A and B are shown apart, each in its own frame.
Chain A
């Protein structure tokens, strides 16, 4: 495998990781919030836990993005 191709694949993997972790954070946040709203409280608190956990997911995504941005090798 040529150096150029290896470097490209490494960069792609790194940047795909950013996309995936950001999407996962939001996805898991909304999913957990929805479960709490509907399974724990039977929908009485809907949509508040979903919104709060969406916020947590977004904060986690921002933190991940910030960590990636500080990496020297990217």
Chain B
């Protein structure tokens, strides 16, 4: 099995966007725009960060060069700094709801948890069948 095929990263990414649409849509129906805005902005930040991580991770797993690991961590530090600055600006200067923002940021946790649970259940069923 190819390394990239073994990783459920693409599935997680699809779930990320699906959950963002679901939470954003639900929030738009039931809550006020500051909460919906927080959910959407938080979700976009988390999903973009995950997409960039996935891209770097795929490169890292594909490549053999020694410098790749250092570059991976350097990019991660840069991304983290950028994320911190963006969150600072949002919290300080915007009226977006923080709970909404945290809900949006948690989209990636939910996807990873869901995909991991799905994988574990599949493994458990396969073991029971054999």
Contacts and interface: CB of A to CB of B under 8 A. Distances in A.
Interface of A: 2, 4-5, 8-9, 11-12, 15-16, 18-20, 22-24, 26-27, 30-31, 34, 47, 50-51, 54-55, 58, 61-62, 65, 68-69, 74
Nearest to A7: B3
B102 A61 contact: no
Given A20-B112, A26-B84, A34-B99, A51 B92 contact: yes
Question: Which secondary structure dominates chain A's binding surface?
Answer: helix
A27 B105 contact: yes
A9 to B, nearest CB: 7
A30 B102 contact: yes
Contact of B6 (A5, A15, A51, A69): A5
Interface of B: 1, 3, 6-7, 46, 49-50, 53, 57, 60-61, 69, 73, 76-77, 80, 83-84, 87-88, 91-92, 98-99, 101-102, 105-106, 108-109, 112
B112 A65 contact: no
Contacts of A58: 80, 84
Contact of B3 (A8, A18, A74): A8
A27 B102 contact: yes
12 contacts: A8-B6, A12-B6, A18-B76, A19-B53, A20-B109, A22-B80, A34-B102, A54-B91, A62-B77, A65-B76, A69-B73, A74-B69
Nearest to B53: A19
